[in-house]
Amino acid sequence: MKPVKVRLLLVGLVTALMIAPSALAAVASAPVVDQIPAPTPRASGVISTYTLVVPTSVSKSKLQTRAVIPNGASCPKLTTLRPNGSTKKQKMWLRTPGASTGAAFASIRVCAANVPRNTRGATVGRVKVPFQLPKSIDKIALLADTGCRIRATSSQDCASPTDWPLAKVAKSIAATKPDLAMMLGDFFYREERCPDSAVAQCGGSPAPLNGAPFKDSGYGWIADALVPMAQVFATTPLMAVRGNHEACNRGGNGYFLLMDASPLGAKACAPKDGVVPTNITPSWAVDLPIKAGRTLRAVAVDTAYGLDYEVTPWESTQAVAYSQAAKLAKRKKGRESWMLTHRPIFGLLSTDYSAGSPTFTPWMSADQQAAAQGKLGRFDAIMSSHIHLSQAVRIPGNPAQLVIGNGGTELEPPTGYGIPPYGPLLDGQGNRISPEFEPYPNATWQWTRVQFGFVIATPGKKAGNWTLSQRSPNGKAFAKCSLKQRTVSCK
Ligand SMILES: [Fe+2]
Ligand SMILES: [Fe+2]
Protein backbone atom coordinates (compact mmCIF):
# COMPACT_ATOMS: atom_id res chain seq x y z
CA MET A 1 0.00 0.00 0.00
CA LYS A 2 1.29 3.47 -0.85
CA PRO A 3 2.06 5.78 2.08
CA VAL A 4 -0.62 8.30 1.14
CA LYS A 5 -3.31 5.61 1.33
CA VAL A 6 -2.03 4.50 4.71
CA ARG A 7 -2.21 8.10 5.85
CA LEU A 8 -5.81 8.59 4.79
CA LEU A 9 -6.71 5.29 6.38
CA LEU A 10 -5.16 6.44 9.65
CA VAL A 11 -6.91 9.80 9.55
CA GLY A 12 -10.18 7.99 8.90
CA LEU A 13 -9.58 5.61 11.76
CA VAL A 14 -8.73 8.43 14.15
CA THR A 15 -11.90 10.26 13.14
CA ALA A 16 -13.94 7.08 13.56
CA LEU A 17 -12.59 6.65 17.07
CA MET A 18 -13.77 10.10 18.04
CA ILE A 19 -17.33 10.07 16.74
CA ALA A 20 -20.23 10.10 19.19
CA PRO A 21 -22.27 6.94 19.88
CA SER A 22 -25.38 8.46 18.26
CA ALA A 23 -23.45 9.07 15.07
CA LEU A 24 -22.08 5.58 15.31
CA ALA A 25 -25.56 4.11 15.58
CA ALA A 26 -26.71 6.14 12.55
CA VAL A 27 -23.94 4.81 10.37
CA ALA A 28 -24.00 1.24 11.66
CA SER A 29 -25.62 -0.09 8.51
CA ALA A 30 -23.94 2.23 6.00
CA PRO A 31 -20.36 2.18 4.77
CA VAL A 32 -18.79 4.26 7.54
CA VAL A 33 -16.41 6.06 5.26
CA ASP A 34 -19.25 7.84 3.36
CA GLN A 35 -20.73 9.27 6.55
CA ILE A 36 -17.67 10.91 8.05
CA PRO A 37 -16.84 14.42 6.86
CA ALA A 38 -13.64 14.25 4.88
CA PRO A 39 -10.81 15.22 7.20
CA THR A 40 -8.10 17.62 6.14
CA PRO A 41 -4.99 15.51 6.09
CA ARG A 42 -2.16 17.20 7.92
CA ALA A 43 0.13 18.56 5.28
CA SER A 44 3.02 17.17 7.24
CA GLY A 45 2.04 13.52 6.96
CA VAL A 46 2.85 13.22 10.65
CA ILE A 47 0.29 11.27 12.70
CA SER A 48 1.51 12.61 16.03
CA THR A 49 4.47 14.56 17.31
CA TYR A 50 5.60 15.30 20.85
CA THR A 51 8.69 16.01 22.90
CA LEU A 52 9.92 13.72 25.66
CA VAL A 53 11.93 14.75 28.71
CA VAL A 54 15.00 12.48 28.73
CA PRO A 55 18.24 12.28 30.73
CA THR A 56 21.16 14.50 29.65
CA SER A 57 23.07 11.32 28.73
CA VAL A 58 20.53 10.97 25.88
CA SER A 59 20.05 14.63 24.94
CA LYS A 60 22.01 17.59 26.34
CA SER A 61 18.90 19.78 26.26
CA LYS A 62 16.99 17.01 28.19
CA LEU A 63 14.52 16.94 25.30
CA GLN A 64 13.95 14.52 22.44
CA THR A 65 11.25 15.07 19.83
CA ARG A 66 9.38 12.12 18.38
CA ALA A 67 7.22 11.91 15.27
CA VAL A 68 4.83 9.05 14.54
CA ILE A 69 4.54 8.46 10.80
CA PRO A 70 2.79 5.95 8.55
CA ASN A 71 5.04 2.98 7.85
CA GLY A 72 6.62 3.50 4.45
CA ALA A 73 6.82 7.30 4.74
CA SER A 74 10.18 8.94 5.38
CA CYS A 75 11.07 10.58 8.65
CA PRO A 76 10.37 14.32 8.61
CA LYS A 77 12.99 16.84 9.66
CA LEU A 78 13.12 18.59 13.00
CA THR A 79 13.48 22.30 12.25
CA THR A 80 14.66 24.45 15.12
CA LEU A 81 15.13 28.17 15.52
CA ARG A 82 18.55 29.16 16.79
CA PRO A 83 19.15 32.08 19.20
CA ASN A 84 20.68 34.09 16.34
CA GLY A 85 17.50 33.76 14.29
CA SER A 86 18.79 31.14 11.88
CA THR A 87 17.06 27.81 11.43
CA LYS A 88 18.58 24.37 11.70
CA LYS A 89 17.17 21.30 9.97
CA GLN A 90 17.96 17.97 11.57
CA LYS A 91 17.40 14.50 10.25
CA MET A 92 15.26 12.39 12.54
CA TRP A 93 16.30 8.78 12.99
CA LEU A 94 13.92 5.84 12.70
CA ARG A 95 12.86 3.72 15.67
CA THR A 96 11.42 0.41 14.52
CA PRO A 97 9.33 -2.02 16.57
CA GLY A 98 10.52 -5.61 16.99
CA ALA A 99 9.86 -7.77 13.93
CA SER A 100 7.82 -10.08 16.18
CA THR A 101 5.14 -7.40 16.55
CA GLY A 102 4.18 -8.09 12.91
CA ALA A 103 0.82 -6.73 11.82
CA ALA A 104 0.14 -5.07 15.19
CA PHE A 105 2.66 -2.33 14.52
CA ALA A 106 2.82 -2.56 10.72
CA SER A 107 0.98 0.75 10.30
CA ILE A 108 3.34 3.10 12.13
CA ARG A 109 6.96 3.98 12.57
CA VAL A 110 8.51 6.46 15.00
CA CYS A 111 11.18 9.05 14.28
CA ALA A 112 13.34 10.79 16.87
CA ALA A 113 15.75 13.71 17.12
CA ASN A 114 17.33 15.49 20.05
CA VAL A 115 16.34 19.12 20.48
CA PRO A 116 19.51 21.29 20.54
CA ARG A 117 20.18 23.40 23.60
CA ASN A 118 19.02 27.04 23.52
CA THR A 119 16.35 26.36 20.92
CA ARG A 120 13.83 29.18 20.40
CA GLY A 121 11.20 27.27 18.45
CA ALA A 122 10.72 23.88 16.77
CA THR A 123 8.56 22.23 14.14
CA VAL A 124 8.26 18.74 12.75
CA GLY A 125 6.89 18.71 9.22
CA ARG A 126 5.34 22.16 9.82
CA VAL A 127 3.73 21.10 13.14
CA LYS A 128 4.93 23.04 16.21
CA VAL A 129 6.41 20.93 19.00
CA PRO A 130 7.54 21.77 22.55
CA PHE A 131 11.18 22.80 22.41
CA GLN A 132 12.35 23.97 25.83
CA LEU A 133 12.36 23.51 29.55
CA PRO A 134 12.40 27.01 31.04
CA LYS A 135 15.36 28.17 33.15
CA SER A 136 13.04 28.30 36.12
CA ILE A 137 10.27 25.70 36.42
CA ASP A 138 7.14 26.96 38.12
CA LYS A 139 4.37 24.65 37.00
CA ILE A 140 4.36 20.86 36.61
CA ALA A 141 1.35 18.80 35.52
CA LEU A 142 1.06 15.22 36.80
CA LEU A 143 -1.28 12.63 35.33
CA ALA A 144 -1.49 8.87 34.94
CA ASP A 145 -3.70 5.83 34.29
CA THR A 146 -5.21 7.36 31.23
CA GLY A 147 -6.42 4.77 28.68
CA CYS A 148 -9.95 3.58 27.97
CA ARG A 149 -10.49 0.24 29.72
CA ILE A 150 -11.94 -2.44 27.44
CA ARG A 151 -12.88 -5.82 28.81
CA ALA A 152 -15.03 -8.64 27.55
CA THR A 153 -17.18 -8.25 30.67
CA SER A 154 -17.40 -4.46 31.05
CA SER A 155 -15.92 -1.56 29.15
CA GLN A 156 -15.66 2.17 29.58
CA ASP A 157 -17.56 4.33 27.15
CA CYS A 158 -14.61 5.49 25.07
CA ALA A 159 -16.92 7.77 23.08
CA SER A 160 -18.10 9.67 26.17
CA PRO A 161 -16.01 12.56 27.53
CA THR A 162 -17.54 12.04 30.98
CA ASP A 163 -16.94 8.28 31.14
CA TRP A 164 -13.48 8.54 29.58
CA PRO A 165 -12.34 12.16 30.08
CA LEU A 166 -8.70 11.91 28.96
CA ALA A 167 -9.08 14.39 26.09
CA LYS A 168 -10.66 16.88 28.51
CA VAL A 169 -7.85 16.31 30.99
CA ALA A 170 -5.31 16.91 28.22
CA LYS A 171 -7.08 20.08 27.06
CA SER A 172 -7.19 21.45 30.62
CA ILE A 173 -3.55 20.62 31.22
CA ALA A 174 -2.59 22.43 28.00
CA ALA A 175 -4.70 25.45 29.03
CA THR A 176 -2.75 25.65 32.31
CA LYS A 177 0.49 25.98 30.31
CA PRO A 178 2.71 23.84 32.55
CA ASP A 179 6.46 23.76 31.94
CA LEU A 180 6.34 19.98 31.70
CA ALA A 181 4.00 17.07 32.38
CA MET A 182 4.91 13.94 34.31
CA MET A 183 2.99 10.90 33.09
CA LEU A 184 3.30 8.23 35.77
CA GLY A 185 2.40 5.19 33.67
CA ASP A 186 -0.49 3.03 32.47
CA PHE A 187 -1.19 4.60 29.12
CA PHE A 188 -2.64 1.51 27.51
CA TYR A 189 -5.98 -0.10 28.44
CA ARG A 190 -7.37 -1.41 25.14
CA GLU A 191 -6.29 -4.94 25.96
CA GLU A 192 -9.28 -6.78 24.55
CA ARG A 193 -11.55 -6.69 21.55
CA CYS A 194 -14.60 -4.50 22.13
CA PRO A 195 -17.39 -6.96 23.00
CA ASP A 196 -20.35 -7.11 20.58
CA SER A 197 -22.59 -6.00 23.44
CA ALA A 198 -20.69 -2.69 23.79
CA VAL A 199 -20.40 -1.47 20.20
CA ALA A 200 -21.82 1.94 21.17
CA GLN A 201 -19.12 2.32 23.83
CA CYS A 202 -16.04 0.96 22.15
CA GLY A 203 -16.96 -0.29 18.67
CA GLY A 204 -14.10 0.45 16.34
CA SER A 205 -11.52 0.25 19.09
CA PRO A 206 -8.45 -1.49 17.70
CA ALA A 207 -8.33 -5.07 19.00
CA PRO A 208 -5.16 -6.91 20.05
CA LEU A 209 -3.59 -9.08 17.38
CA ASN A 210 -5.03 -12.59 17.65
CA GLY A 211 -2.63 -14.99 19.33
CA ALA A 212 0.10 -12.41 19.93
CA PRO A 213 1.96 -12.57 23.27
CA PHE A 214 1.15 -8.88 23.89
CA LYS A 215 -1.96 -6.67 23.80
CA ASP A 216 -1.12 -3.40 22.07
CA SER A 217 -0.87 -2.14 18.51
CA GLY A 218 -0.08 1.03 16.60
CA TYR A 219 -3.76 1.85 16.13
CA GLY A 220 -4.39 0.99 19.79
CA TRP A 221 -1.82 3.58 20.92
CA ILE A 222 -3.24 6.14 18.46
CA ALA A 223 -6.69 5.67 20.03
CA ASP A 224 -5.64 5.39 23.68
CA ALA A 225 -2.87 7.99 23.88
CA LEU A 226 -1.79 9.84 20.74
CA VAL A 227 -5.20 11.29 19.80
CA PRO A 228 -6.65 12.03 23.26
CA MET A 229 -3.38 13.46 24.59
CA ALA A 230 -2.72 15.57 21.49
CA GLN A 231 -3.21 18.90 23.26
CA VAL A 232 -0.61 18.04 25.87
CA PHE A 233 1.77 16.78 23.20
CA ALA A 234 1.42 20.02 21.23
CA THR A 235 2.28 22.25 24.17
CA THR A 236 4.14 20.43 26.93
CA PRO A 237 7.28 18.30 27.17
CA LEU A 238 6.38 14.91 28.64
CA MET A 239 8.36 12.91 31.18
CA ALA A 240 6.99 9.39 30.79
CA VAL A 241 7.24 6.57 33.34
CA ARG A 242 6.45 2.95 32.56
CA GLY A 243 3.37 1.39 34.17
CA ASN A 244 2.45 -2.26 34.61
CA HIS A 245 0.18 -1.87 31.57
CA GLU A 246 3.42 -1.30 29.67
CA ALA A 247 4.86 -4.68 30.68
CA CYS A 248 6.12 -6.58 27.62
CA ASN A 249 3.17 -8.99 27.58
CA ARG A 250 0.76 -6.01 27.58
CA GLY A 251 1.47 -2.53 26.09
CA GLY A 252 5.27 -2.70 26.27
CA ASN A 253 5.99 -2.79 22.53
CA GLY A 254 4.27 0.55 22.02
CA TYR A 255 5.78 2.03 25.16
CA PHE A 256 9.34 1.23 24.10
CA LEU A 257 8.68 2.37 20.54
CA LEU A 258 6.92 5.62 21.44
CA MET A 259 7.66 6.80 24.97
CA ASP A 260 10.94 5.33 26.20
CA ALA A 261 14.47 6.63 25.69
CA SER A 262 16.33 4.07 27.84
CA PRO A 263 19.29 1.99 26.66
CA LEU A 264 16.90 -0.99 26.22
CA GLY A 265 15.74 0.50 22.89
CA ALA A 266 12.56 0.32 20.82
CA LYS A 267 12.71 -3.49 20.45
CA ALA A 268 13.06 -4.12 24.21
CA CYS A 269 9.99 -6.38 24.30
CA ALA A 270 11.01 -8.64 21.38
CA PRO A 271 10.90 -12.27 22.53
CA LYS A 272 14.23 -13.96 23.17
CA ASP A 273 14.30 -17.68 22.35
CA GLY A 274 10.54 -17.49 22.05
CA VAL A 275 10.09 -15.98 25.51
CA VAL A 276 8.65 -12.48 26.05
CA PRO A 277 11.14 -10.66 28.29
CA THR A 278 10.43 -9.46 31.82
CA ASN A 279 12.68 -6.42 31.79
CA ILE A 280 13.30 -3.27 33.77
CA THR A 281 14.68 0.05 32.57
CA PRO A 282 17.48 1.52 34.68
CA SER A 283 16.37 4.32 37.01
CA TRP A 284 17.15 7.74 35.59
CA ALA A 285 16.87 11.35 36.63
CA VAL A 286 16.47 14.83 35.30
CA ASP A 287 17.24 18.09 37.09
CA LEU A 288 14.58 20.77 36.94
CA PRO A 289 15.86 24.16 38.09
CA ILE A 290 13.18 25.91 40.13
CA LYS A 291 14.80 29.19 41.07
CA ALA A 292 18.21 30.40 42.14
CA GLY A 293 19.78 27.81 44.39
CA ARG A 294 16.89 25.34 44.20
CA THR A 295 16.59 22.30 41.94
CA LEU A 296 14.05 19.50 41.75
CA ARG A 297 15.63 16.20 40.81
CA ALA A 298 12.95 13.94 39.35
CA VAL A 299 14.02 10.29 39.57
CA ALA A 300 12.08 7.76 37.48
CA VAL A 301 11.84 4.14 38.65
CA ASP A 302 10.37 1.42 36.43
CA THR A 303 7.80 -0.60 38.39
CA ALA A 304 6.14 -2.40 35.48
CA TYR A 305 6.61 -5.72 37.27
CA GLY A 306 6.28 -7.09 40.79
CA LEU A 307 3.22 -8.20 42.72
CA ASP A 308 0.94 -5.93 44.71
CA TYR A 309 0.02 -8.29 47.57
CA GLU A 310 3.03 -10.57 47.87
CA VAL A 311 6.76 -10.27 48.17
CA THR A 312 8.15 -12.36 45.31
CA PRO A 313 11.65 -13.09 43.98
CA TRP A 314 11.14 -10.06 41.69
CA GLU A 315 11.90 -7.95 44.77
CA SER A 316 15.67 -8.48 44.37
CA THR A 317 15.64 -7.25 40.74
CA GLN A 318 13.42 -4.33 41.70
CA ALA A 319 15.72 -3.44 44.62
CA VAL A 320 18.50 -2.67 42.11
CA ALA A 321 16.29 0.03 40.56
CA TYR A 322 15.65 1.57 44.01
CA SER A 323 19.39 1.50 44.82
CA GLN A 324 20.06 3.33 41.55
CA ALA A 325 17.33 5.82 42.48
CA ALA A 326 18.78 6.39 45.98
CA LYS A 327 22.18 7.07 44.42
CA LEU A 328 20.63 9.54 41.97
CA ALA A 329 18.88 11.33 44.85
CA LYS A 330 22.13 11.94 46.72
CA ARG A 331 21.73 14.96 48.98
CA LYS A 332 23.20 18.20 47.68
CA LYS A 333 22.67 21.78 48.75
CA GLY A 334 19.57 23.17 47.09
CA ARG A 335 18.46 19.81 45.69
CA GLU A 336 15.10 18.25 46.51
CA SER A 337 14.10 14.91 45.04
CA TRP A 338 10.88 13.29 43.93
CA MET A 339 10.63 9.64 43.02
CA LEU A 340 8.40 9.08 40.00
CA THR A 341 7.23 5.48 40.03
CA HIS A 342 4.08 3.85 38.78
CA ARG A 343 3.29 1.49 41.65
CA PRO A 344 2.95 3.35 44.93
CA ILE A 345 5.10 2.22 47.83
CA PHE A 346 2.47 3.32 50.34
CA GLY A 347 -0.82 3.30 48.44
CA LEU A 348 -4.17 2.33 49.91
CA LEU A 349 -6.74 0.29 48.06
CA SER A 350 -10.43 0.21 48.99
CA THR A 351 -11.39 -2.35 51.64
CA ASP A 352 -14.27 -3.22 49.28
CA TYR A 353 -11.74 -5.62 47.70
CA SER A 354 -11.28 -7.58 50.94
CA ALA A 355 -14.03 -10.10 50.10
CA GLY A 356 -14.41 -10.68 53.84
CA SER A 357 -10.86 -11.97 54.23
CA PRO A 358 -9.50 -11.13 57.73
CA THR A 359 -5.93 -11.12 56.43
CA PHE A 360 -6.71 -8.58 53.67
CA THR A 361 -4.48 -5.53 53.65
CA PRO A 362 -5.22 -2.51 51.46
CA TRP A 363 -1.50 -1.61 51.30
CA MET A 364 0.01 -1.71 47.81
CA SER A 365 2.47 -2.79 46.47
CA ALA A 366 4.22 -5.43 48.58
CA ASP A 367 7.12 -6.14 46.19
CA GLN A 368 7.84 -2.40 46.02
CA GLN A 369 7.65 -1.98 49.81
CA ALA A 370 10.19 -4.76 50.24
CA ALA A 371 12.47 -3.65 47.40
CA ALA A 372 12.50 0.03 48.43
CA GLN A 373 13.23 -0.66 52.08
CA GLY A 374 16.04 1.54 53.41
CA LYS A 375 16.36 3.37 50.07
CA LEU A 376 13.84 6.19 50.45
CA GLY A 377 15.66 8.44 52.94
CA ARG A 378 16.76 11.00 50.35
CA PHE A 379 13.37 11.56 48.76
CA ASP A 380 10.94 14.34 49.63
CA ALA A 381 8.01 12.75 47.85
CA ILE A 382 6.96 9.63 45.96
CA MET A 383 4.74 10.46 42.99
CA SER A 384 2.87 7.34 41.86
CA SER A 385 -0.34 6.16 40.32
CA HIS A 386 -1.63 2.57 39.64
CA ILE A 387 -4.59 2.94 42.01
CA HIS A 388 -7.25 4.82 40.05
CA LEU A 389 -7.93 7.74 42.35
CA SER A 390 -6.11 10.67 43.95
CA GLN A 391 -4.54 10.01 47.34
CA ALA A 392 -2.00 11.33 49.82
CA VAL A 393 -0.50 9.24 52.65
CA ARG A 394 1.84 9.96 55.56
CA ILE A 395 4.08 7.20 56.89
CA PRO A 396 6.33 8.45 59.72
CA GLY A 397 9.98 8.75 58.70
CA ASN A 398 9.20 8.33 55.01
CA PRO A 399 8.64 10.63 52.04
CA ALA A 400 5.17 11.98 51.32
CA GLN A 401 3.28 9.48 49.15
CA LEU A 402 1.02 10.87 46.43
CA VAL A 403 -1.12 8.66 44.20
CA ILE A 404 -2.32 10.39 41.02
CA GLY A 405 -4.04 7.60 39.08
CA ASN A 406 -7.22 9.42 38.03
CA GLY A 407 -6.34 10.51 34.49
CA GLY A 408 -9.16 8.80 32.65
CA THR A 409 -9.26 5.06 33.12
CA GLU A 410 -12.11 3.50 35.09
CA LEU A 411 -12.00 4.66 38.73
CA GLU A 412 -11.73 2.63 41.94
CA PRO A 413 -14.73 2.00 44.23
CA PRO A 414 -15.90 5.27 45.84
CA THR A 415 -15.76 4.00 49.44
CA GLY A 416 -13.57 1.91 51.76
CA TYR A 417 -10.58 4.21 52.40
CA GLY A 418 -9.08 4.86 55.79
CA ILE A 419 -6.07 4.07 57.92
CA PRO A 420 -5.86 0.28 58.14
CA PRO A 421 -5.15 -1.51 61.44
CA TYR A 422 -1.54 -2.24 60.46
CA GLY A 423 1.16 -0.63 58.32
CA PRO A 424 2.76 -1.74 55.05
CA LEU A 425 4.27 -5.27 55.00
CA LEU A 426 1.79 -6.44 57.64
CA ASP A 427 -1.46 -8.16 56.75
CA GLY A 428 -4.88 -7.33 58.20
CA GLN A 429 -4.14 -9.41 61.32
CA GLY A 430 -0.72 -7.93 61.99
CA ASN A 431 1.27 -10.84 60.51
CA ARG A 432 4.29 -10.14 58.35
CA ILE A 433 3.69 -10.39 54.61
CA SER A 434 7.21 -11.78 54.28
CA PRO A 435 9.46 -12.93 57.17
CA GLU A 436 12.51 -11.25 55.65
CA PHE A 437 11.16 -7.72 55.64
CA GLU A 438 10.62 -5.41 58.57
CA PRO A 439 7.15 -3.81 58.51
CA TYR A 440 6.87 -0.04 58.07
CA PRO A 441 5.15 2.15 60.67
CA ASN A 442 1.44 2.56 60.09
CA ALA A 443 0.08 5.65 58.39
CA THR A 444 -0.77 8.60 60.60
CA TRP A 445 -2.94 10.30 57.99
CA GLN A 446 -4.46 9.65 54.58
CA TRP A 447 -6.61 11.58 52.13
CA THR A 448 -8.45 9.96 49.24
CA ARG A 449 -10.71 11.30 46.49
CA VAL A 450 -12.15 9.02 43.85
CA GLN A 451 -12.78 11.33 40.92
CA PHE A 452 -11.16 12.01 37.56
CA GLY A 453 -8.50 14.65 37.20
CA PHE A 454 -4.86 15.64 37.35
CA VAL A 455 -2.48 17.64 39.53
CA ILE A 456 -0.75 20.96 38.97
CA ALA A 457 2.32 21.34 41.19
CA THR A 458 3.82 24.76 41.89
CA PRO A 459 6.85 25.40 44.10
CA GLY A 460 6.38 27.25 47.38
CA LYS A 461 8.70 29.89 48.76
CA LYS A 462 10.85 27.56 50.85
CA ALA A 463 13.01 24.67 49.64
CA GLY A 464 11.05 21.43 49.53
CA ASN A 465 7.67 23.16 49.65
CA TRP A 466 5.08 22.68 46.93
CA THR A 467 1.40 23.28 46.37
CA LEU A 468 -0.39 20.48 44.57
CA SER A 469 -3.66 21.62 43.10
CA GLN A 470 -6.08 18.76 42.46
CA ARG A 471 -8.01 19.56 39.29
CA SER A 472 -11.07 17.97 37.70
CA PRO A 473 -11.03 17.18 33.94
CA ASN A 474 -12.46 20.63 33.16
CA GLY A 475 -9.55 22.21 35.02
CA LYS A 476 -11.45 23.33 38.12
CA ALA A 477 -9.60 22.86 41.43
CA PHE A 478 -11.41 20.45 43.77
CA ALA A 479 -8.78 20.21 46.52
CA LYS A 480 -5.40 21.56 47.47
CA CYS A 481 -2.50 19.58 48.91
CA SER A 482 0.70 20.99 50.27
CA LEU A 483 4.07 19.35 50.56
CA LYS A 484 6.32 20.61 53.37
CA GLN A 485 9.37 18.90 54.83
CA ARG A 486 8.47 15.50 53.32
CA THR A 487 4.97 15.78 54.78
CA VAL A 488 1.78 16.11 52.76
CA SER A 489 -1.55 17.54 53.79
CA CYS A 490 -4.70 18.11 51.71
CA LYS A 491 -7.99 19.93 52.06
FE1 LIG B 1 -3.73 1.68 36.05
FE1 LIG C 1 -1.02 0.17 37.09
CATH topology of domain 133-490: Purple Acid Phosphatase; chain A, domain 2 (3.60.21)
Closest ligand to residue 409's CA = 1
pTM: 0.92
Distance 234 CA to ligand 1 centre (A): 24
Query: Is the Cα torsion angle 13, 18, 21, 24 positive or negative in sign?
Result: negative
Q: Pick the more confident residue, 15 or 365.
A: 365
How many angstroms separate the alpha carbon of residue 292 from the centre of ligand 1?
Answer: 37
Q: 185: CA distance to ligand 2 center in Å?
A: 7
pLDDT in tens, 293-343: 899 999 999 999 999 999 999 999 999 999 999 999 999 999 999 999 999
Query: What is the predicted pLDDT for the residue at 354?
Result: 96
Q: Decide: 291 and 329 in contact? Cβ < 8 Å.
A: no
CA distance to 142, 186, 304, 400, per residue, from 349 (Å): 20, 17, 18, 17
What is the CA(28)–ligand 2 centre distance, in A? 34
Please tell me the predicted confidence (pLDDT) of residue 32.
35
Q: In the chain, where are the structural domains located? A: 4-35, 45-132, 133-490
Confidence band, pLDDT 50/70/90 cuts, at residue 31? very low
Instruction: Work out the mean pLDDT of the chain and round it to a whole number.
Output: 92
The CA 451 to ligand 2 mean position distance, Å, reads 17
- Kindly report, residue by residue over 445-458, the tens digit of the pLDDT: 999 999 999 999 99
**Which residues in 434-473 belong to E strands, given as ranges?**
445-449, 454-459, 466-471
Mean pLDDT of 156-168: 97
Rounded to 5 degrees, φ, ψ at 298 are: -95, 120
265: CA distance to ligand 2 center in Å?
22
Q: pLDDT at residue 12 above 70?
A: no
Residue 15 pLDDT > 70, yes or no? Answer: no
Residue 43 has a pLDDT of 52
Q: What is the pLDDT of residue 147?
A: 98
CA distance 318 to 372: 8
